[in-house]
């Protein structure tokens, strides 16, 4: 794994080898000097110098002794978990959830701040309160965070910085909000669409690991999709890529002026309220669309017709998406789709097979508990590690307070 860069300066080469070694320690856990040398291709003296340098920088600590029963015992080295921290935040209309992890990815603090009766509290105050509470549980000050990533319904237009596609999120549509969030937190901050972050979670620890081109369809009350191309989430020119609730589909009336109605064809046939209405129309008794799916799977009267119709509706929308994107994989996520399990997946797959030229693999999401928060934390850690592990930077990389860049 040793990188040889023609024309690279010694400092650049050291920085590259430092990062390779740090990534190995993250991935494989504590390693001896000999193991680092074998995995990177570095000589033992060079590996020893590298590890000493990373120790001096506050990035690596010694952690126990290798005990393989053969020969002399070797010192093991590991990432110093206190080298830096990152926070992920998941925002909905009713609460703000936050989680803090150390640089190794270990979650050390969590919090949930309810917001239903606090309309006078601005987004920056609610987010800061949630992050501070998670930091307090972790036993750290907020100024030790290197990055915050926030997941929200809707998205910020990168050109205008206006929040779009989520009218129900009170207070998030005011001008200059992104700057105010960064100012309030005093930490580099990124805001991303919640479904895109669910896809990030699947890339990191779910069924999309190692898949460069995939679509994640998220179905709860609303519908959304994340489109990943060449391993990167495609947000679109205005941040609206994946807003498939507006997608005109067969079987749904054409919606005019969708920006005003905040709805569209696919939402009007396969959104949560429509799934629940369909269940009740065939005599299934349920309070939520997820419950309706589960009741149907228990074999209630009218269940087969209901599940077939739901599966066909989702397949129509997926067919329209894959005709344009042609992904290798479609991940079915969100409470409605995951409630259907393999039974609903098979119905969708059979319908898709009959109406779509492209035939991607369909999989149920593996990250079903806090997918948005999980994705936000992974994104924050990715950005934080780029900063913390940059040993070629002129900044002091020891344990210091860092302000906004």
Structural domains present in the chain:
10-79 (1.10.10.10), 83-197+371-388 (3.30.420.40), 208-364 (3.30.420.40)
Q: Which backbone phi and psi does 354 adopt, to 5 degrees? A: -90, -15
Dump pLDDT digits (tens) for 331-370. 999 999 999 999 999 999 999 999 999 999 999 999 999 9
Distance (Å, whole) CA 99 – CA 87: 6
Distance (Å, whole) CA 322 – CA 49: 51
Nearest to 374 by CA among 79, 144, 97: 97
> By the 8 A CB rule, do 255 and 265 touch?
yes
Which DSSP letter does residue 398 get?
Answer: S
Q: Report the pLDDT value the prediction gives residue 286, as an integer from 0 to 100.
A: 95
Distance (Å, whole) CA 322 – CA 348: 13
In this prediction, the residues of the chain whose per-residue pLDDT falls under 50 are: 2-7, 394-405
Q: Is 257 left (phi over 0), alpha (psi -120 to 50) or beta?
A: left
Q: Which backbone phi and psi does 271 adopt, to 5 degrees? A: -70, 165
Q: Report the pLDDT value the prediction gives residue 400, as an integer from 0 to 100.
A: 33
Q: Which backbone phi and psi does 318 adopt, to 5 degrees? A: -65, -40
Contacts by residues 222-225 (CB-CB < 8 Å, ≥ 24 positions apart): 222/153, 222/267, 222/271, 222/272, 223/266, 223/267, 223/270, 223/271, 223/317, 224/153, 224/193, 224/194, 224/195, 225/195, 225/321
CA angle 207, 371, 95 (to 5 degrees): 175
Burial environment of residue 197 by CB neighbours within 10 A (0 to 12, 13 to 18, 19 or more): buried
Q: Report the pLDDT value the prediction gives residue 118, as an integer from 0 to 100.
A: 52
Q: Report the pLDDT value the prediction gives residue 250, as an integer from 0 to 100.
A: 84
Q: Report the pLDDT value the prediction gives residue 210, as an integer from 0 to 100.
A: 95
Distance (Å, whole) CA 377 – CA 85: 10
Distance (Å, whole) CA 51 – CA 34: 11
Q: Which backbone phi and psi does 111 adopt, to 5 degrees? A: -160, 155
Q: Report the pLDDT value the prediction gives residue 262, as an integer from 0 to 100.
A: 59
Q: Report the pLDDT value the prediction gives residue 117, as an integer from 0 to 100.
A: 59
Q: Are strands 85-91 and 145-152 parallel, antiparallel or unpaired?
A: parallel
Distance (Å, whole) CA 51 – CA 80: 12
Residue found under tokens 């498939």: 244
CA distance to 112, 163, 174, 175, per residue, from 178 (Å): 21, 9, 10, 8
Q: Report the pLDDT value the prediction gives residue 397, as an integer from 0 to 100.
A: 38
Q: Report the pLDDT value the prediction gives residue 5, as an integer from 0 to 100.
A: 42
């Amino acid at each position: 794994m040793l990188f040889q860069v023609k024309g690279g300066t010694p400092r650049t080469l050291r920085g590259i080898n430092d990062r390779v070694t740090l990534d190995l320690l993250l991935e494989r856990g504590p390693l001896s000097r000999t193991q680092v040398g074998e995995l990177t291709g570095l000589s033992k003296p060079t590996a020893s110098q590298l590890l000493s340098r990373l120790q001096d920088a506050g990035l690596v600590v010694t952690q126990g002794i290798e005990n393989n029963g053969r020969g002399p015992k070797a010192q093991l080295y590991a990432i110093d978990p206190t080298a830096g921290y990152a926070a992920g935040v998941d925002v909905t209309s009713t609460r703000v959830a936050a989680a803090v992890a150390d640089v190794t990815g270990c979650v050390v603090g969590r919090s949930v701040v309810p917001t239903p009766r606090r309309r006078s509290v601005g987004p920056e105050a609610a987010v800061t309160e949630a992050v501070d509470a998670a930091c307090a549980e972790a036993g750290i000050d907020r100024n030790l965070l290197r990055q915050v990533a926030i997941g929200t319904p809707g998205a910020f237009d990168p050109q205008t910085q206006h929040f779009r596609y989520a009218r129900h999120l009170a207070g998030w549509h005011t001008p200059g909000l992104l700057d105010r969030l960064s100012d309030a937190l005093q930490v580099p901050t990124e805001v991303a669409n919640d479904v895109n972050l669910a896809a990030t979670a699947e890339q990191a620890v779910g069924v999309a690991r190692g898949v460069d081109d995939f679509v994640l369809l998220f179905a709860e009350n609303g519908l959304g999709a994340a489109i990943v191309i060449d391993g990167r989430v495609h947000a679109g020119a205005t941040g609206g890529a994946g807003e498939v609730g507006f997608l005109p589909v067969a079987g749904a009336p054409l919606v005019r002026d969708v920006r005003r109605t905040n709805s569209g064809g696919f939402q009007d046939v396969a959104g949560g309220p429509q799934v629940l209405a369909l269940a009740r129309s065939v005599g299934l008794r349920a309070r939520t669309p997820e419950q309706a799916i589960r009741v149907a799977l228990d074999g209630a009267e009218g269940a087969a017709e209901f599940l077939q119709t739901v599966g066909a509706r989702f397949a129509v929308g997926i067919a329209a998406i894959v005709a344009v994107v042609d992904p290798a994989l479609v991940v079915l996520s969100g409470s409605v789709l995951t409630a259907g399990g393999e039974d609903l997946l098979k119905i969708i797959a059979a319908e898709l097979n009959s109406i779509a030229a492209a035939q991607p693999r369909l999989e149920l999401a593996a990250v079903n508990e806090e997918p948005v928060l999980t994705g936000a934390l992974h994104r924050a850690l990715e950005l934080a590690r780029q900063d913390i592990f940059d040993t070629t930077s002129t900044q002091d990389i020891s344990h210091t307070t860092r302000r906004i860049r």
